Structure formats: C-alpha cells, structure tokens
Amino acid sequence: MNLKNKKIETQIIINSTHNKDGNTSQLIKKLYPNSKSIKLIDYKIELYNYDEKYSDDDEFLLIINEIIKYDKIIFATPVYWYSMSSLMKIFFDRITDLIGTQEELGRKLMGKKIEVITTSNGNNLGDNFFLPFKETADYLHLEYIDGKHY
C-alpha cells in the first residue's frame, strides 16, 4: 500500500455541554482521546438574528474556520429536556449564516462527514432526537454517518 496517497481522516468534536467535566466531556475523553475538541461553553456565540450582524466579540466564525480544517465533525451533546443542549441549538441556529452572508465559508463544509453522540441519565431517547442533525446535514450537503446515545 502506498501511504503517500492514502488520505488520513481527521476529526474534530464540538462539545456543547454546560458542565465542562460532566458525562459528555468524560465520554469524549474515553472515545476520542486524541481528537481535537472545542467546548462551546468557552466561546461567545451570539444568538442568531435576521440581519446576520454580530458584535466583534462573537466567535462563531472562529469556530467554523477551525471546523473546515477537518474531514469529520462529531457533535457531542447532553440531552436536556429531550433535546440538544441550548449551546448546540444556538450553534445550529447560527449555521443559517453559512447559507446567507457567509455562503462562501459555508461551501467549505460541503461533503464533510458528521456524527452525533449524546449522553443522558436515562435511556429514553427517541429516533426523532437526531432529526435536526440529519436534516441540517442534508441541507448543507454534509454526510450524516450516525447518531449514538450513551
């Protein structure tokens, strides 16, 4: 096998827990000990607005510019009230910017693979939980691989 021509898949984890050392962070360390992880709690991401104008303190595009360097994105979220964390929801709302004022940047995400991992105290996660991730992947021309609950 010619290793020069073999592409090495790289991945980044987007961690949306509010508890920096909680179950979601512990799971990431266990499953992906050598992967880069971004904790959304450490960044200022302003709420989506229809004008798509944000303060200079907003760091959403900083995160996106990091994500585009990787082949696969793993979204990690605890389950809060049968849904993704509020940090992940805000992040996903802002993805709208990538088809609006930031379309050129958004195109750089096309074709990337995504996975979702979730954590909760119960095992009552329905299949519909992953629907927003699947539909967003389709909308942005990403390849949805899988969603797993722990």
pLDDT (tens digit per residue) in 86-122: 999 999 999 988 888 888 888 999 999 999 999 998 7
In a domain, residue 3? The reply is no
Ranges under pLDDT 50 in the chain: 1-3, 6
Q: In this predicted structure, what is the pLDDT of residue 9?
A: 63
> Which residues constitute the domain of residue 64?
11-128+137-149
- The whole-number pLDDT of residue 8 equals 54
Residue 37 placed within a domain: yes
pTM, rounded to two decimals: 0.90
Query: Which DSSP state fits 100?
Result: T
The single residue listed with the structure tokens 């010619």 is: 2
Identify the pLDDT of residue 1. 43
CA 90 to CA 68: how far, in whole Å?
Answer: 19
Does a structural domain hold residue 5? no
Tally of domains within the chain: 1
For residue 97, being part of any structural domain is answered with: yes
- What is the model's pLDDT at position 102? 87
> Which residue, among 25, 21, 9, 8, has the nearest Cα to 117 in the 3D structure?
25
CATH code, domain with 40: 3.40.50.360
Supply the Cα-derived Rg of the chain in whole angstroms. 15
